[in-house]
Amino acid sequence: MHSLHTLDGCLFDLRPAVMRDSEAIKQAIISNFAKFCLRRDAFVSARLQLRVQNCLLRFCASQISARSRINLENLIATEQSLWAFLSNEPEGFKNWAKDIQVLVIDECHHVNTAPAKGRDKKIVANTWWEVAMAIPATYRFGVSATLNTEDSPNNQFVLESVTGKVIYYISVSELIKRKVLVPMQINMIRREAIPCRVWKTREIHGEVVDGAYDINIIDADDRNRWIAQIANNLHKQGRKVLVLVDLVGRHGEFLAELIPNSVFLSGKHKRNERDEGIEQFVKQNKVLISTIVKEGFDVPAIDAVIIAGGGKSHKMLIQKLGRARRITPGKSWAEVWDFYDDDGESSMGPRMCARHSEERLKIYKSGPEDVLTIWKSLETAKGLTLVNA
């Protein structure tokens, strides 16, 4: 019912942005747009497939031909496809877009945060903004489950220039009360980390300097074994376990060796390999270790997430937590495990790993319906000594 209420509000305002903390509800809103919009529409999506009504056509980059551009009544396209069209054929794009009257931007937070780099590595454009502004639709809608309200005013103005101001927001807490999402038991294990000069390993004045991310996260043997132990224990309990690593593939490969009943998926795997891996995760109840489970991944049965790759991005962490928040029959709560990597303080404040951990901790503390526990070590997490946040 609140989904229809939001739709009604959007149709009264020609240029709204809608913020949701639930991917499923967000998709339902977009589906309702499809039912109500009888004009020619363009849906800009962050992924190749959008789970909406069958009345919409699905297109990827290779399927947008000159003929289809002219004949389409409804179009779903990735931002990458539209940006390639706009940058390579600006006049053709202009002629194609001139009749579009309704624009729906899924994952509209990218309008603020998606710069493109030219051949000289310099930032040349925000491609999401460029595409959106090149489509002269009268009715403009933005939908996001991870629109960071802490964005700078300048970033907020960028989004408002495309969709208008946010007109509807519903919190995780409210969605939990409405039985749309489930609350979480969040566990954060404190561990000592090694202070480093740089975040990623690199060469400085001819000397290879080890980075904090490599030493304290990817190659940290104790940390990886703790992750494996937690994953194995959760799997034995019958939990549907997702281990999230960063884009560095070898971290996932390390963990796959330590977690026997697991499957590892990264951006290097082909589409059929990914589909096969996800099927093993869903049907054979294997532990899924992945770098690619972000926007567009929807397996509601997930009820345990291990944040193995650290990080400090508010939007990325909300998306990661969202993998386990989806409600499904028999699921009343979800479990999250993370690490507070404490590499101490410098004269400038907390060092890199500690600073990232603090950013994640702030997000964990912001959920009034969630239960947060900070453990002194993995041994205390087994039940010896407990420190409540």
User: Is residue 57's pLDDT more than 80?
Assistant: no
Same domain, 145 and 185: no
| Mean pLDDT across 288-298 | 72
Q: Domain boundary at 129, 154, 170, which?
A: 170
Instruction: Check whether residue 255 and residue 355 sit in a common domain.
Output: yes
Domains contained in the chain, number: 2
Split at pLDDT 50, 70, 90, the class of 339 is: very high
- Residue 60, pLDDT score: 28
DSSP helix, strand, coil percent of the chain (3-state; round to 5): 40, 25, 35
Ranges assigned E (strand) in the chain: 17-20, 41-45, 74-78, 102-106, 115-117, 123-126, 139-144, 166-170, 184-192, 202-204, 207-209, 241-244, 262-265, 287-290, 304-307, 334-342, 345-346, 349-350, 371-375, 387-388
Both 188 and 95 in one domain: the answer is no
Task: Tell me: pLDDT of 63 over 60.
Answer: no
**Collapsing DSSP states into helix, strand and coil, what is residue 95?**
helix
Based on the fold, state whether residues 103 and 213 are members of the same structural domain.
no
- Quick one: tokens of 117? 């780099």
Look at residues 170, 195, 213 and tell me which one is the last residue of a structural domain: 170
Between 17 and 66, the more confident residue is 17
Q: Dihedral sign for Cα 148, 154, 160, 165, please.
A: positive
Query: Which residues are CB-contacts of 222 (< 8 A; sequence separation ≥ 6)?
Result: 191
Helices 79-88 & 90-97 angle (0-180, nearest 10): 120
Please report, rounded to a whole number, the percentage of residues in the chain having pLDDT higher than 90. 24
131 shares its domain with 200: no
Q: What is the mean pLDDT of residues 22-51?
A: 54
Q: Which residue has the higher pLDDT, 19 or 107?
A: 107
Nearest CA to 96 among 124, 130, 135, 125? 135
* Structure confidence by residue, pLDDT tens digits, 169-204: 778 888 888 888 899 999 999 999 998 888 787 777
Tell me: do 221 and 333 sit in the same domain: yes
Q: What is the dihedral of CA 18, 63, 295, 166, to 10 degrees?
A: -10
Q: Is the dihedral of CA 290, 293, 297, 298 positive or negative?
A: positive
- 184 and 166 within one domain: no
Helices and strands counted in the chain (H then E): 16, 20
Of residues 334 and 32, more confidence is placed in 334
- In this structure, the answer to whether residues 38 and 154 fall within a common structural domain is yes
**pLDDT score recorded for residue 333:** 92
Residue range 345-387, pLDDT digits in tens: 876 667 889 999 999 999 999 888 899 998 877 666 654 333 3
Q: List C-alpha distances in Å: 46 to 77, 144, 222, 303.
A: 9, 11, 36, 25
Q: How far is CA 32 from the centre of its chain?
A: 23
Alpha helix positions (H), 52-125: 66-71, 79-88, 90-97, 110-113
Judgement on whether residues 148 and 241 belong to the same structural domain of the protein:
no
Q: Which of 170, 198, 223 is the last residue of a domain?
A: 170
Q: Report the range of poorest mean pLDDT among 54-68, 190-204, 269-283, 368-382.
A: 54-68
Q: Which residue has the tokens 């946040």?
A: 389
Mean pLDDT of 256-269: 89
Q: Which domain holds residue 189?
A: 177-388
Confidence category of residue 284, pLDDT binned at 50, 70, 90: confident
Here the CATH number for the domain that contains residue 6 is: 3.40.50.300
Strand order in the sheet with 41-45: 74-78, 41-45, 102-106, 139-144, 17-20, 166-170
Nearest to 197 by CA among 208, 186, 189, 188: 208
Task: Tell whether 87 and 190 lie within a shared domain.
Answer: no
Mean pLDDT calculated for residue range 73-101: 81
Q: Given the DSSP bridges, would you call strands 202-204 and 207-209 parallel, antiparallel or unpaired?
A: antiparallel
pLDDT band at 277 (very low <50, low <70, confident <90, very high): confident
Q: Which of 13-17, 251-255, 268-272 has the highest mean pLDDT?
A: 251-255
117 by Cβ neighbours in 10 Å (0-12 / 13-18 / 19+) ranks as exposed
Under the banding of pLDDT at 50, 70 and 90, the label for residue 221 is very high
118 & 228 share domain:
no
Contact 74/40 with Cβ under 8 angstroms? yes
One domain for residues 231 and 146: no
